[in-house]
Amino acid sequence: MAGPFNWLSQVGAVTEFGILSMPQRRGSVAAAVIGIAGVVAVLVGVLSIATGFRRAMAASGSPDEALVLRSGADSEMVSGLSRDSTRIIAQAPGVAQSPGGPLASAELFVIINLPKISTGTDVNVPLRGVERPAVQVREGLRIVEGRMFDWGKDEVIVGIGAAREFSGLQVGDKIKVGRYSWPVVGVFSAGGGAAESEIWSDAAVLQAAYNRGDSFQSVFVKLKSAEAFKEFKDNLTADPRLSAQVLRQTDYYAEHSEAVTRLVTTLGYLIASLMAIGAAFGALNTMYSSVSARNREIATLRALGFGGGAVVVSVMLESIALALLGGAIGAGLSYIAFNGFHTATMNWQSFSQVTFALAVTPQLLVQGVIVATLIGAIGGLLPALRAARQPIATALREL
């Protein structure tokens, strides 16, 4: 009577009972499933903000790209480098060469206020002045609409994210910078990276408009290889004419995504864990009512010789199956609703906007399903134990 096959068929029989009786309890079953779906959807949705933001920042540089700032500056915004410094940096060993000279672009980084389309309020949109090598320094940058601006002319191109999120950035529009008015002549994409949030102009034009004389804020450099970074860095930090810090672009952007990621994940987990507790109570309720509705049936089975273990396992199975259903609905909903959704937030280090797409990754979905399973297991355990422990005689006597 105690073979594993027999035990399995006992589990199967009790589970079948549970599943067949579900239509009679559809209210409470639906409540539990929807509750768990809600938890998973919110958890995955909130975390997809952090994932999307981190992904945009990670797509902003590759290991063979370096960034040079004034030492002590934690972002381009507050950095400053003279023309002489940028020249020394471009000549440093390790910089990749092209027929047109070293692949180093000295750049300016400022912000201008433009209304965000979704809220209608002014936000800080980054405006970058670049030199000719800028396009080769950044891999994957290409014009998707209109054309590149002409060097030396008062024209700008805008990132595809900026064009989507901020008003007045379509080809043919004009942006006002102080007393100047610059036409937008093209839209570019940059592999989903932070550059897509920016407006680009010729550095020389921007220097004039902002009275920056001949100074820059950063130098973006393409290295011969990822390994050349050490040589490049050591050379510049040892140079007595400079006071510069050299960073890999990947590290720089990773550091810049830290604050937002930390904020979103802390709050996201906080909200989701509270919701999960609430949903676990809902699941407990459902399973208690499921068990109590079948009290007599379960007692009859046990009187016939079904084991307590089989009852526990089958109640747990039922609960976990409901939770998985809820989890799948929630994960599916959040994928449909959030994946690829375009938005913008503030990069706290540079006080400027970064546009990005929310990313619902397989890892997030798996995480959501795990949470759902846990809720289901918790919701099933106590009612299962109660069902298995109840004295058979009492249960049978119940009306």
Partner 1 sequence: MKYMHLVWGNLRRKKTRTVLTLLSIVVAFVLFGFLSAIRQALTGGVSLEGANRLIVRHKVSIIQMLPIDYKRRMEKIPGVAAATHQTWFGGIYQDPKNFFMQNPVIPGEFLDMHPEMILPAAARQAWLQTRTGAVVGRKTAERFGWKVGDKVPIQSTIWAKKDGSFLWEFDIVGIYDGRDKNTDTTPLFFRYDYFDEARRAGTGSVGWYTIRVLDTSKAAAVANLVDAEFENSSAETKTEAEGAFVQAWAKQIGDIAFITASILGAVFFTILLVTGNTISQSVRERTGELGVLKAIGFTNGQVLGLVLAESCVLSVLGGVVGLGVAWLLTSRGDPTGGLLPLFFFPAGDLAAGLAISVALGLVTGFFPAMQAMRLRVADSLRRI
Q: Name the residues that contact partner 1, by CB under 8 A.
A: 27-28, 30-32, 34-35, 38, 41-42, 46, 72-75, 77-78, 110-113, 116, 118-119, 121-124, 177-179, 210, 243, 259, 262-263, 266-267, 270-271, 274-275, 277-279, 281-282, 284-285, 288-289, 343-346, 348, 351, 353
> Who contacts 6 (Cβ-Cβ below 8 Å, separation ≥6)?
none
Q: Which is nearer to partner 1, 45 or 193 (CB)?
A: 45
Shortest Å distance, C-beta 336 to partner 1: 15
Shortest Å distance, C-beta 285 to partner 1: 5
Shortest Å distance, C-beta 374 to partner 1: 16
Q: Which is nearer to partner 1, 136 or 345 (CB)?
A: 345
Q: Which is nearer to partner 1, 2 or 179 (CB)?
A: 179
Shortest Å distance, C-beta 30 to partner 1: 7
Shortest Å distance, C-beta 291 to partner 1: 11
Q: Which is nearer to partner 1, 98 or 266 (CB)?
A: 266
Q: Which is nearer to partner 1, 13 or 30 (CB)?
A: 30
Residue 19: Cβ within 10 Å count: 14
Q: Which is nearer to partner 1, 62 or 79 (CB)?
A: 79
66 contacts 248 by C-beta, under 8 angstroms: yes
CA–CA dist 224, 202 (Å, integer)? 25
Shortest Å distance, C-beta 249 to partner 1: 18
390 contacts 297 by C-beta, under 8 angstroms: no
Whole-number Cα distances in Å, 317 to 24, 144, 177, 390, 395? 19, 53, 64, 19, 22
Residue 399: Cβ within 10 Å count: 3
